[in-house]
Structure 1
Amino acid sequence: MKNDHHDSAGLNAPVPEQSGQRADETMFMALFATHPSVMLIVDAGTGRVVDANHAATQFYGWPVEEFRKLNLLDIDVPSPADGTNSPSLLAALEQGRTSRTHRKADGSVREVELFASPAGLPEKNTLFVIVQDISERKDFESLTEFRLRLLEMSNTSSTEELLTFTLDEAERLTGSTLGFFNFISDDQSIVMRHACSSCAKKDNCGEASHPNQIDPAICADVITEKRAVIHNDHATLRHCNSRFVDHQQAKRELIVPIIRNGKVMATMEIGNKPIDYRDEDVRLISVLAGVAWDIIARKYAEESERKMQEAIQYTQKMELIGQLAGGIAHDINNVLMAILGHAELMIDELDEWNPFSESLLTIQESAVRATNLIQQLLAFARKQMIQPTLVELDKEIDKQKPMLREITGDRVRIEWIPGSNHARVLIDPSQLDQILTNLCANARDAIEGAGKVTIETSTVRVEAAECYAGHPCQTPGNFVTISVTDNGCGIDSNTLPHIFEPFFTTREVGKGTGLGLSTVYGIVRQNKGYLECQSSPGCGARFTIYLLRHDDSPETPENTSAGVSETRKAWKTILLVDDDPSIVALIRTVLTKHDYAVLTATTPRNAERIAAASDNEIALLLTDVVMPEMNGRELSARVQAIHPHLKTLFMSAFTMEMIAMHGVTGSETNFIRKPFKISTLIQVIQKILG
């Protein structure tokens, strides 16, 4: 009985192995349910989710009941490289480890790494899967790769290209489809759109040229509070006047500031993420924007230093040319004065049929051309004697249309588009004439066959942020622009940096002086303006000049040649002083011929002695400015002490700068520049003595 009882009891007792297995399963499921790691049990054959632990429901956002209705393929976001996601995912799980992108219940995605092994549960062919969130690691890897790529690009790419690449990366990392990068002015009041993403360009949101000013209200909260701003609904976007409102698909946006030294330097905007932006997006985009800004700021500093060095070298070169021009101008102008004067005297004496008349006219014309060349050099060197006056730009250009049409000829049509709306600029009208003449001549030479030159004016306000962003105007303000555009052959990138250098020309030898554009450059800079050229081969060229707009009328100097009387005052005494004997001889002949009594001297001391010894009242002192012993201004004061009613007419072949150093300014009423025509000299003298 005992043995029977024992056998009976043994048959009903649990098998130790089965009991231990159930205990292990119970312990496993308890650990599975409470473990802080994200864990799933899936069917290895189909990918169906058999079970999910509490950590998984917290991570993904689905309750266990919902989770058990899902397939692992439902939450897997396939890579574009995968043809179909099913074989790729399940095959990868069999290998025990794979990296995937998973979708959560709220629609957001996370980068995860899956570790799989057989579960060993009663359900056959099940896998135990541990899910590890590696999004931060992936972001770090992406940022590292982005930084290296941006550094590499910075050597060859423009600032706008670097910013576009940054915005494209921001869109990729967040799933956005719009992106903009804005620069903020130093006073934080101006927002300049500087770049947009590739998607924004394709979507016609970035079709405007950059940089362009936008409504500061877009970034008001970001700038004032120095923090990132998220707008996750369309109503909020409209409330804050966002740039994205103009886009019919706009729903959400994120704006992050880039802050350096306590000031917002720029903002990065991204928009239209399929789901709401979150704090993790703020952190990611802030790092991305900061990396880009530091690289771009370094590139900008390097470019600024390079441009400064180039500007210094260019300025030094131009200054040397200017010194050369100024140095030779005096001597050459005196020589030309003698040639022009004697030629004019001989032409007046000869009859038209005289065989020498034509030769003398040729001599005179050649001397005039040489004079113009010297004036062009002085214009480039900004050493011209000028008399700026307030002119209404459109009206002044309109006067010059007939002359400009003569320059371009019949084959080139001039289109005139006035648009400055009666705006005025302060400039010597003769210099405006030089600018338009040279630009139209340059355009004509660039056009083969028939063509068109468009002259257009407008007004523009240049802000400080635009100057910072690379605008040709280096200082902010209100400007009037003159644009001269042709449809000629255009200028290649190698030639473009040199076009304003004197004597630089692409025309064949003997066909150009190379002084046309350099003259324009010198005149514009002398008038505190700015100049840029936009051109490419086969696309013509556009020259744009920026001149400061003047709304107040300044005092303008009297024109020395206006209102000249034809009445001659016979036998008035003129004291003529010049250290060049040939000039003295020429002018004495001319003045004597016009019934003036002439006293001459080649040194100031001698002139002073002659004035003291003269019994006749000296009516006019005609004197050079720069001379040995004393200058013309000092001589005038000494002679006037002897002859109180004396009037003075200064003349000089030196540059404006040199003349001003000797007491005679560009606004001096009684001044005549050498070389001058004999008839002009007589008219000026008659006006002074009249």
Structure 2
Amino acid sequence: MSVENPEFGLLREFPEPVCLMNLEGAILDANEAFVSRLPETGADIRGCNIYELLASTLQSPEIATKRRAMVQQVLLTGRHISFDNEKDGIHWRYLVHPVRSAEGQITRLLVIVHDITKTKAEELQSRKDNLVFKALMDATPGSVIILDAAGRISGINRYAMEVFGKSESELYACDPFEIVHPEDRHVVREKFRAILERDIEETVEAKICVHGNPEQARWFIIHARKTEIDGEPFVVTVGLDIDERKQMEQALKRSRDRLDFTLEKSHLGWWEFNPVTNSTRRTLEHDRIFGYDAFLPEWSFSLFVDHIIDDDRAMVKNLCHQAMEKQEDFAFECRIRRNDGQIRWIWVAGGFQFDARANHYLMSGLVRDISKRKQQEERQEELQLELQQAQKMEAIGQLAGGIAHDFNNALTAILGNAELLAKKVPPASRFIEHIDDIRKSALRSASMTRQLLAFARKEIVTPKVCPIDQEIEHLLPMIESLIGSHIRFLWRPASGGRCVHMDPSQIDQILINLCVNARDAITDNGTITIETAPIIIKGGESTPGHPCRIPGEYVRIAVCDTGCGIDTRALPHIYEPFYTTKEPGKGTGLGLSTVYGILKQNKGWIDCVTEPGEGATFIVHLPAFGDDGAVIRSDEPDKTIISTSSATILLVENSPDILSILQGVLEEKGFSVLAAQSAGTAVRVASQHPAAIDLLVTDIMMPEMNGIDLSEKLEAARPGLKTLFMSGYAQETFYQPKNLYKKANFIQKPFNINSFLGMVSKMLASPRS
């Protein structure tokens, strides 16, 4: 039989059944996949009628007749048709396409059979998934709405229909944004556009009109995100009813507003800090105290610490750290630098909230600007300092000035000569011991001079971390000289290395005033004892009657005497200014009031235990600072390695004795020394010296020109010239008013030769400025 479609060979390897038939249903050609579906006919079915084959194979003439009728539709309409059939669990889809001749007439029919079993299964699964999705949406305890890119509703759950009071068809037809309350509608629209344009998630709180009535609006929190379905963008929204929560929040806000108003009118700022999340909550008054007119979004605990001035920062950190470790409340006063640059005093009090495991907590408390109160206290302190200054004898003031300077110069010469003499005397000489006694006496005199300068100096209080036992030990020689030889003096240190945070000169003033009062209470022979010890005051102990009103760790200093004691009638008045039990001319009544003021300034306490005729014990409690930060003071000779050199040094000293000694020791070490006894001579020597001068060593106090001006004048002519300053005055005398030189290039008289040579070596080794 001839093949009417010679091109059918292209379809023979087609994986799905394909056949070509004429208009009456006779098979013109078919591929193997098609033949295998009709096994009873054999391999060659060309010429067989497809309808007859179907009738015999399926044993159903009715099916064959229906298929013929379907094919007739192709002939009538000229368009292809498709129909599905299922057999033995396999779904087939038949496609019947008309094949036209060159003249456009339908001459043949092409039948293609597809296995759509998998597609049918996927469609079934899709229907099941849709049902599950719908069930999940309806089970969601919130409104679920799916919007297309145009803002039309594409999906909605039963909860939303119940809330909005509309049927599904009504909701699909309405504008979903009209459901939102008019006050929030604009915001919700903007969020919707942002989600589509920027592909982000958004959350917004808005009022939703229940049953379309704005008067019955309820608060919802709406979470929305963009998704794609079949390549098309959609926005999925889930709304949860938070109306009760919003009402509670509003009630809480009203309560907080009333509290904030009360705190603001009381000028109190409330704050809360979460160290775990590093987040804070505050009232506006809190931020105003720190100089901000509005809330500062980036406020944190570290920013609070940054506002504290440098001098108070370590103290605040230490107090907070101790409170956190002990889980105790805290309170302190410190200075801050406001945002506008003002220095203000604040009072801070608070505590910690711990969970059951004590590992998650909150810090909360109050803050208040106490600058006005502090100004009043500072004024009182100024008046007290003026009274205290008037109490000092004129001789001590003079000694703290020019006499102290000359005395230190003399001690420098004594020390220098003693050391030079010690080098020239054989080690086995019996004079070595006497020379060493001279050196020790000079050092002891220098220590007393320094203590006297510290006591008499009128300066700004500079708190430092001070080991209390070490500070008192440096004061002992001066105390012994004040109380006299007829009184036995006992020193019993037992603080265990405890430190306090206060000005060392204030410690000196406390002890000197207490020891002088103890001395005056002893008429003949007696004993004065100073004892130290650490002490912890617990909350239950700080009751009325106890000297310490605030619990905490303290250093206890007791000054005991065996004198006459204090009358019980006078005891309540002993800290009042100008109140004294001494005879006229023997006291001003300012000693104990000075002690009392210093202790109050440093948050300390004082108590007196006494009986008439049984002596008195003054007990001072100073807040312990902690174990960190040690102050090292030493009068021992410097152990710095001293190197010899051929450097040129211009030495300027108006004391010929000191000039001779220093010139000798420098030249002995190999230095080339240009010596001058005055500033004018030094300028002339420097101008006539053609070579370089490596170091200027000059006294500060000289008649013609002081050493600081001399250094500036020579440095202008010789840029980069290094200078080592010397003086019998304390360095702060020159350093505080003008920032003319650093502490690294100053040596105070009296000094030993090794210290001096070590300083010279250090200056020569340092880079030029």
Q: Which bin holds the TM-score, normalised by the shorter protein?
A: 0.3 to 0.5
Larger Rg: 2
Q: Which has the higher contact order (CA 8 A, sep 6+)?
A: 1
TM-score by length of 1: 0.39
TM-score by length of 2: 0.36
